[in-house]
């Protein structure tokens, strides 16, 4: 296993501390606990990389091609930092198999989530990756629990020829108690492409979403009084599109009730355009509307106050039915 990225050694994201430093001794040394789990374990390497995403991602792509036995992961400090490696994503990650029959199962970890940290620290450019998806060339997911994340990484090496895996990984979920997984889900569970809250006796509105906004919708749903009776379904895998799983959810929802896609990204970003197209192809009789931010030239708001106002408006419109935008058709 090989992990590289900005500050990957010291655990910038609070979910790991891979390298420990002994500073009490005269000669300071480092210790990597995961290299000493057992005498016959696989190799484990973690490397800090500079803010030179173009060259670093190119190297890691080449490494994954030459080392088919390795799980190779590149982690951006924020998802937006993949901007600097866009040429590598377009020419190699997305197209290498189609152009040259070159196989790589590189994993991209892109912290993506609207948390009020500004334009350069919010958006992993999910829309770009979905536009590049075709011929099963990549897997694009937005997992919302540790067990889902674990099983995605495990599946990546269980299959002999896995395509590159692009993961949106919101930082706020690292410290959100509602997102924790019991150990049983890691030991005995499996990856679920879509997670449905389950049918309720009476439902006015079905909300599809992906990523951390689920927890904000869920919290508002629990505390809502006099609002819409909503059901929430998470798309954990976006590409390949989980049409079978979505079809089951739609069938159990029945007809005549509202269906919306909810996202925290601006309308011209995120997954909305992709989702609308997939519903047109696979469920042409289903009317799906949009709830989210208005189109924006900037990936995100520049102030925490504006971010909170926008985020709160999305949740209210989704859960309580306040000024929801019209359906797709």
- Residue 228 belongs to a domain with what CATH number? 3.40.50.11610
Interior CA angle at 212 toward 233 and 60, to 5°? 115
Q: Is the pLDDT of residue 201 over 80?
A: no
Span 9-24, mean pLDDT?
Answer: 76
What's phi and psi for 88, nearest 5 deg? -65, -40
Which of 3-7, 132-136, 196-200 bottoms out in mean pLDDT, i.e. has the lowest?
A: 196-200
What is the percent of the chain with per-residue pLDDT over 90, rounded to a whole number?
Answer: 66
Same domain, 158 and 255: no
Residue ranges making up the domain that contains 291: 194-319
What's phi and psi for 297, nearest 5 deg? -70, -25
- Asked if residue 324 belongs to a domain, the reply is no
- Asked if residue 220 belongs to a domain, the reply is yes
Q: Are 138 and 104 in contact (CB under 8 A)?
A: no
- Asked if residue 326 belongs to a domain, the reply is no
> 4: which strand partners?
47, 74
Same domain, 161 and 19: yes
The pLDDT mean for the chain works out to: 89
Looking only at the bridges linking them, the beta strands covering 237-239 and 139-141 are antiparallel
Span 199-225, mean pLDDT?
Answer: 83
Report helix, strand and coil shares of the chain as percent, to nearest 5.
35, 20, 45
Q: Is the pLDDT of residue 227 over 60?
A: no
The rounded Cα 295 to chain-centroid distance in angstroms is 21
Q: Is the pLDDT of residue 15 over 70?
A: no
Distance separating alpha carbons of residues 325 and 153, to the nearest angstrom = 37
Same domain, 34 and 139: yes
**Residue listed under structure tokens 């509105």:** 205
Domain endpoint, select from 159, 188, 217 = 188
Same domain, 200 and 298: yes
Same domain, 234 and 174: no
Token pair of 84 as six digits = 């600097």
State the total domains in the chain: 2
Q: What is the model's pLDDT at position 194?
A: 97
- Asked if residue 290 belongs to a domain, the reply is yes
Q: Please give the C-alpha separations between residue 309 and each of 11, 190, 220, 264, in angstroms, as whole numbers.
A: 31, 37, 15, 12
Same domain, 184 and 199: no
Give the gyration radius of the chain's Cα atoms: 21
């Amino acid at each position: 296993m090989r992990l590289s990225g900005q500050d990957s050694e010291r655990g910038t994201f609070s979910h790991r501390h891979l390298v420990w430093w002994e500073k009490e001794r005269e000669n300071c040394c480092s210790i990597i606990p995961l290299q000493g789990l057992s005498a016959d374990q696989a190799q484990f390497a973690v490397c800090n990389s500079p803010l030179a995403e173009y060259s670093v991602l190119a190297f890691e792509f080449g490494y994954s091609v030459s080392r088919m036995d390795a799980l190779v992961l590149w982690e951006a400090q924020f998802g937006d930092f993949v901007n600097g490696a866009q040429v590598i994503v377009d020419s190699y990650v997305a197209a290498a198999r189609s152009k040259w029959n070159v196989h790589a199962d590189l994993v991209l970890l892109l912290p993506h989530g609207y948390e009020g940290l500004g334009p350069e620290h919010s958006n992993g450019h999910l829309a770009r990756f979905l536009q590049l998806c075709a011929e099963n060339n990549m897997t694009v997911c937005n997992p919302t629990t540790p067990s889902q994340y674990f099983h995605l990484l495990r599946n990546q090496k269980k299959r002999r020829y896995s395509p590159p895996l692009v993961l949106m990984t919101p930082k706020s979920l690292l410290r959100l108690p509602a997102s924790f997984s019991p150990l049983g889900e890691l030991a005995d569970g499996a990856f679920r492409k879509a997670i449905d809250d389950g049918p309720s006796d009476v439902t006015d509105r079905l909300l599809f979403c992906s990523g951390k906004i689920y927890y904000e919708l869920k919290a508002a749903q629990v505390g809502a009084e006099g609002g819409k009776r909503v059901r929430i379904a998470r798309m954990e895998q976006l590409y390949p599109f989980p049409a079978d799983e979505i079809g089951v959810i739609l069938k159990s929802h029945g007809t005549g009730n509202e269906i919306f896609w909810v996202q925290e990204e601006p309308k011209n970003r995120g997954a909305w355009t992709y989702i609308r197209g997939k519903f047109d192809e696979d469920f042409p009789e289903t009317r799906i509307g949009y709830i989210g931010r208005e189109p924006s030239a900037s990936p995100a708001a520049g102030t925490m106050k504006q971010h909170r106002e926008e985020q709160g408006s999305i949740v209210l419109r989704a859960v309580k039915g306040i000024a929801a935008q019209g359906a797709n058709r």
